[in-house]
Structure 1
């Protein structure tokens, strides 16, 4: 369990599922559908959904590329965290949002697998959170022209190493969307 005291609650953290981030990404529609199903499930179970949005020179606040994809609609009452770095915790309000709600366990979904998802997972673990990656609810773009593996291999590798990630007093792991249990622990 989390090393954070008095933090028994779980949150679904939706990272950078923005029009300008996921456009053309690997299995984009299936990933967005899985995220949508998880958002619906979290809401039904009264589990907080936290929306994280990247802001930078390409994703300017309020622009179409900056907006959450049309298939997903954040509720007005759900926290929104603006970020400027890959790690969703770095110089953001995410920690205070989670602390205020007694959250010590994160279910992480979104984009890009090889940037913001990896950084946020590691950022969570080093800060004392339990962090579960939903293996079929994150995606990335094709960066093979710069020497990266194809997106499906980036995703598979991230799922592999996060399944076996360990840290003292914290749990990591992966789960497929249909098996997410907002009340249990990572597998």
Structure 2
């Protein structure tokens, strides 16, 4: 029930699953396996898979840490959005790409739960999209030495609060990989 009524389609976003971003992240391999499952499912259902790749002073473009993890392989025909801010919409072509594809529902996966995932969730929601967060397909690094909660608590909190988001004409959901459907009622 997106507010973008002329956009009935769904897309899968794979955000920042890069070597330097997910290195040492809790359940890294399980999260990547779940994302891979979703990518395969989206491809089988002819749903666009959109890859988002971050760069900044600490994550230099074209460096090994900047590269996507080897377990996930983007097809040449699948869009790649480069970003330098947490929100995948900020100063990128993502919005224009989604408009071109007629997308009003986003299924979100990737890293980091408490940074780029949260920023993109909110960025999409305030722009009128329905947004489904896949609860077991995102992760974050351990930043507890800086006062953040433990990573599993960050993931759990992100999953908890996202399922209760609401706004006129939009839906927010949190579902597990096995429950994801790429329909207007994306589970």
Q: TM-score range by the shorter chain?
A: over 0.9
Match in the other structure for 2:150:
150
Counting only pairs closer than 5 Å after superposition, residues 1-187 of structure 1 correspond to structure 2 as 1-186=1-186
Deviation at 1:61, TM superposition (A): 1.7
Deviations 1:10-33 (A, max 9, x none): 000000000110000011000000
**2:105 and 2:184 in contact (8 A); partners too:** no
Confirm or deny: 8 A CA contact 1:171 1:186 kept in the other structure: no
SS of residue in 2 equivalent to 1:114: helix
Q: CA deviation at 1:62?
A: 1.4
Runs of 4+ in 1 over 6 A off after TM superposition: none
- Structure 2 residue runs of 5 or longer lacking an equivalent are none
Contact 1:172 1:186 in 2 (8 A): no
Say if 1:175 and 1:186, in contact at 8 Å, map to a contact too: no
* TM-score when normalising by structure 1: 0.98
Question: TM-score with structure 2 length normalisation?
Answer: 0.98
* Deviation, structure 1 residue 186: 4.9
1:60, distance to aligned residue in structure 2 (A): 1.7
| 3-state secondary structure, aligned to 1:137 | strand
